[in-house]
Structure 1
Amino acid sequence: MKILIIVAIILLFPIPIKLRISYIDKKFKVMLFNIQLNKKKIISPEDLKKTEEKIKENNIAEKIEKSQKTIYINTAKIFIKKLKHTFYKPTLRLKFKFEYDFDNAATTALMYPFITEITSLFCTLLRIPFILKKNCVSVIYKFENSFFVNCDLSCIFIINLAKLIYIMILLLLSYIGGKKYGKSSNRKFDEVNYGKS
């Protein structure tokens, strides 16, 4: 009985993942917890040669079959549809701040409803893979006759092992469904264009 309780606690224990993406004063930062992920690295000539060789190899191996592409597209469609209607998806706490100004005050004012509509659409799309809670979105415009854009996005993803396992199962089922649908759609395509064998 104790083992079952311990397993249940491990599966249901919430794991918060903190992510922050900011573009302030022309500086772009991606922070996972308190670690900056996009630090600039010095590329040596040897590394540059290796990357060039990899690019050549990738260009040679870039030919992907049409049926495989169809499987991936169908998998993504099925997975998004399943994830949209499930209650067992990760929780997201969002804080988004967008400050901007253009050289012309009229342009700054006219862009406000357009930007707020985009941020609203962004939050709507986030509700597909996440349960959105405590979202704070603010769009601030300033009439200082100076062009600047500042953007700060802070996210806390809350997930547990049980939800993660459930999402992986959904992804696997979506891949199987996409594979079957891809094969059937390719068969219909061949029958229409080349006739039944």
Structure 2
Amino acid sequence: MIDLYTWATPNGRKISIALEEMGLPYSVHCVDIRNEEQFADSFLKISPNNKIPAIYDPSTGASVFESAAILIYLAEKTGQFLPTSLGERTRVLEWLSWQMGGLGPMLGQLNHFVNIADEKVPYAMRRYFDEAARLFRVLDQQMEDKPFVAADYSIADMAIYPWSLPAIDPVSEQTDQRFENVERWHASMAERAAVQAGMQVPTA
């Protein structure tokens, strides 16, 4: 049984979705980042960057941190949701990298300046709303003729969905833009039982 160290964040939910989709048994260990539990020495041994999520796999003795690395590890362990052919595999890894390097960080900054920062900085909020809208346009264009991000359902969808779902309405409202292909994809993702279950982890 895989040990999942997580909290109720988009990055954490990527992994619970993947574990549910892959049918892997797992045990949830809540790391309450509100109380800085991620800085505990015991967690540092599993996640050297003091960030959730992280996993420990007793069957291999491997501990893995960083959500993209965990997704790839689980996909390769199970042979699911990451193609083996070079071209198809590259497409999935492109969009996984896009989420890690673009969508996630930009939406994280947007959330910080809009919802967390003590000082409201109009320039910062506008900057990140505009960049979020640009990224949603990129995703919307990609989804124009595809049911999933890289054509077939993959770890790229699992990585992007927990970030894009809560952000799309605020970004649409603030920028007066619609992302209909992304909305269609969101609806499709929400119908998957494993996605529904993974989005509820942890329950605390």
Give the TM-score of the pair, scaled to structure 2: 0.23
Q: Which has the larger radius of gyration?
A: 1
Give the TM-score of the pair, scaled to structure 1: 0.24
Richer in strand (by share): 1
Richer in helix (by share): 2
